[in-house]
Amino acid sequence: MDEFQMNRRQALIASGLGTLSLGMPGMVMGSDKVDASVKAVAAEKSCIFILLCGGPSHLDTWDMKPEAPLEYRGPYMPIDTKVPGMRLNEMHTELAKLTDEFTLINSMSHPGAISNHFDAMHNLLSGQSDKRVQQGMSNEQPYLGSHVARHKPSKRNFVSNAWLIKCVGPPVFCAPNIGIGGYLGSAYAPVFVGSANNHPAMKDFKPPEIYAPYDEPRFEKRKEVLSKLESDRLDRDQTVKDWSDLREKTYEALTRAEGRKAFDMHEEPDQVRQRYGMHPLGQNLLLARRMVESGVRFVTVNGWTGQADHDKKGPPSSSWDMHGGNMGMGNAFGNGSYGMGFCLPRLDQALAALLSDLKERGMLDNTLVVVTGEFGRTPNVLKQNPPGRQHWPRCFSSILAGAGIAGGQVYGKSNKYGQYPTDDPVRPEELAATIYHALDIPINDPKDPTGILRTLTTGKPIMELFG
Q: Which residue has the higher pLDDT, 173 or 2?
A: 173
pLDDT at residue 15 greater than cutoff 80? no
Contact 304, 168 (CB under 8 A): no
Residue 260 banded pLDDT, cuts 50, 70, 90: confident
Rounded CA-CA distance 318/315 in Å is 7
3 state SS of 262:
coil
Identify whether 386 is preceded by a cis peptide bond (ω within 30 of 0).
Answer: yes
Least confident piece of the model among 123-132, 287-296, 391-400, 428-437: 123-132
Residue 427 pLDDT > 70, yes or no?
yes
| 39 contacts 289 by C-beta, under 8 angstroms | no
Average pLDDT of the residues of the chain: 83
The three-class DSSP label of residue 333 is coil
Reported as a single tens digit per residue, the pLDDT across 19-62 is: 333 344 455 544 333 333 334 444 589 999 999 999 999 999 99
**pLDDT band at residue 135 under the 50/70/90 scheme:** very low
Type of residue found at 409:
Q
Q: Sorting pLDDT into bands at 50, 70 and 90, what band is 6?
A: very low
32 by Cβ neighbours in 10 Å (0-12 / 13-18 / 19+) ranks as exposed
Strands (E), 304-387: 367-372, 376-377
pLDDT band at 375 (very low <50, low <70, confident <90, very high): very high
> What number is the average pLDDT over the span 344-349?
98
Q: What's the mean pLDDT in 128-142?
A: 65
Query: Which helix (H) or strand (E) segment is 167 a member of?
Result: none
Q: Tell me how far apart the alpha carbons of residues 229 and 210 are, in angstroms, rounded to a whole number.
A: 27
For the chain, give every domain's residue range: 42-212+269-465
Angle at which helix 216-231 crosses helix 238-255, to 10 degrees, equals: 160
The residue that leads in pLDDT, 23 or 403, is: 403
Whether the predicted pLDDT of 176 surpasses 70: yes
pLDDT at site 190: 92
Report residue 454's pLDDT band, with 50, 70 and 90 as the boundaries: confident
CB-CB contact of 335 with 182 (8 Å):
no
Between CA 73 and CA 197 the distance in angstroms is: 36
Say if residue 277's pLDDT is above 60: yes
Closest to 257 in 3D by CA, of 157, 164, 160: 157
Rounded to whole angstroms, the Cα distance separating 158 from 454 reads 27
DSSP 3-state assignment of 3? Answer: helix
pLDDT at 65: 97
Q: Bigger pLDDT: 333 or 169?
A: 333
**Per-residue pLDDT at 195 exceeds 90:** no
* pLDDT the model gives residue 400: 98
Evaluated on CA atoms 444, 448, 451, 457, the torsion sign reads negative
pLDDT at 20: 35
The listed CATH number (3.40.720.10, 3.40.50.300, 3.40.50.1820, 1.20.272.10) that belongs to domain 42-212+269-465: 3.40.720.10
C-alpha pair distances (Å), 369 with each of 3, 257, 395, 439 = 35, 26, 21, 11
Name the pTM for this structure. 0.86
Which helix (H) or strand (E) element contains residue 422?
Answer: strand 421-423
Q: Tell me the residue ranges of DSSP E strands in 237-395.
A: 298-302, 367-372, 376-377, 391-392
Which one is predicted more confidently, 467 or 438?
438
The answer on pLDDT for 391 being more than 60 is yes
pLDDT digits (tens, 9 = 90+) for 73-123: 999 999 999 999 999 999 999 999 999 999 999 999 998 878 889 889 999
CA–CA separation, 183 and 159 (whole Å): 19
The pLDDT of residue 123 is: 93
Range 289-315 average pLDDT:
93
Q: Is the model's pLDDT at 16 over the cut of 90?
A: no
pLDDT in tens, 196-252: 889 999 999 998 877 665 555 655 665 566 566 555 555 555 555 544 554 555 555
